[in-house]
Amino acid sequence: MEVFRSAGVVWNLLDGQRPRPRFRVTTASVDGHAVRSDGPVSLTPERPLSAVRKADLVIVPATGLETDELLARHAAVVPWLQRWYRRGTAVAGICSGVALLAEAGLLDGRRATTHWGMVDSYRQRYPAVDWRPELFVTEHDNVYCGGGVYASLDLSLHLVERLAGREVAVQCAKALLIDTPRVWQSSYATPPRRSGHGDSKVLEAQQWLHQHFRSHVHLDAVARKLGMSPRNFARRFRQATGETPLAYLHKLRIDESKRLLEQEYMTMQEIAGNIGYDDPVFFRQLFKRYAGVSPQGYRTRFGRNAELQQLAQGSSVPNRRA
């Protein structure tokens, strides 16, 4: 609540500017009654779920409950989330709150994260979900997840950036003295390649490519590893994902190169070698084809030094309701 209410407000006040709140925040519980948090702390919401009339973003916080107790106590939340998502509302879950998104079917075939200590039981309960506990934040098709309870800060800042722009998110983080490195990693923000297709062999290939894309990959060898001919492998892969295996591999590498351009000071040759390309010229050509801009142009816009430039430029972002 503090992150969203502070966006466009606290930094402006500290900087002598007029506050420009970017979000209108409403709190709600199933019945509108107070909800006990950790220990003796209770939170009193503004209204019951039934009284919520408009929302651009719905966030389900961590609950601290065992999954069975959580689902029993908050069963009414599941169809409520399904209705809002069908209307086009973004839905996010944090830590154990992610279970309500999974129960609603919103995570099937999508990448998601939660607290690492709960992921094994969640994998058994929700096998259709692509669980990624190594990530702090995931997003796919307007559904967002945060890891442990303190990843709520990462997820909230990530959502502020998505809905109100990078400048506002950076200002909000600075005003609240929150670290931001985990938020800006493109691996958190990049939509995952399609994995809900049901072809177990192709899914195995995708998982292998995600683990080995930085090395010199021979796709014919990947096909043989799966017991398939290269031609059959290419056909099934494209049918399942909509992409050729080679295009899929290139996009994985380009996604990683974006993260390196944003976060690391490396030469183009070093970045190319880090993601599996020997020729930096070939890497530049591929990057421009898939990203629409040269690697240097991307670094100028999104790299570490770009933050100060964007803070000086200002932007106009519409108010949102959360």
- Domains identified in the chain, total number: 2
Query: Does one domain contain both 91 and 229?
Result: no
Query: Does one domain contain both 222 and 273?
Result: yes
Mean pLDDT of the chain, nearest integer: 86
Query: Does one domain contain both 293 and 238?
Result: yes
Mean pLDDT of 82-89: 96
Q: Residue 189 — pLDDT band, cuts 50, 70, 90?
A: very low
Residue 223 is part of which domain span?
Answer: 200-302
Helix, strand, coil percentages (3-state) for the chain, rounded to 5, are 50, 10, 40
Query: Does one domain contain both 84 and 120?
Result: yes
Q: How many CA atoms lie within 13 A of 89 on its CB side?
A: 21
Q: Is the pTM of this model over 0.75?
A: no
Q: How far is CA 81 from CA 89, 107, 264, 321, in A?
A: 9, 12, 39, 16
As a residue count, the chain comes to 322
Q: Residue 185 — pLDDT band, cuts 50, 70, 90?
A: very low
Per the CB < 8 A criterion, the answer to whether 101 and 112 are in contact is: yes
Query: Does one domain contain both 185 and 216?
Result: no
Tell how far CA 310 is from the center of its chain.
22
317 occurs within a structural domain: no
Query: Does one domain contain both 41 and 134?
Result: yes
Q: Give me the pLDDT at residue 309, please.
A: 47
DSSP H helical ranges for 76-165: 77-86, 98-103, 119-125, 151-164
Query: Does one domain contain both 234 and 268?
Result: yes
Per the CB < 8 A criterion, the answer to whether 271 and 291 are in contact is: no
CA–CA separation, 214 vs 196, rounded Å?
24
Residue 200, number of CB atoms within 10 A of its CB: 10
Percent of the chain whose pLDDT exceeds 90: 57
Burial class (CB in 10 A: 0-12, 13-18, 19+), 308: exposed
Q: DSSP assignment, residue 191?
A: P
Q: Residue 306 — pLDDT band, cuts 50, 70, 90?
A: low
Domain boundary among 169, 192, 215: 192
187 occurs within a structural domain: yes
Query: Does one domain contain both 150 and 277?
Result: no
Residue 309, number of CB atoms within 10 A of its CB: 12
Query: Does one domain contain both 52 and 143?
Result: yes
313 occurs within a structural domain: no
Q: Give yes or no for residue 183 having a pLDDT over 60.
A: no
Q: Give me the pLDDT at residue 145, please.
A: 94
Query: Does one domain contain both 267 and 125?
Result: no
Query: Does one domain contain both 24 and 67?
Result: yes
Query: Does one domain contain both 238 and 188?
Result: no
Instruction: Pick the closest to residue 139 from 123, 119, 162 (CA basis).
Output: 162
310 occurs within a structural domain: no
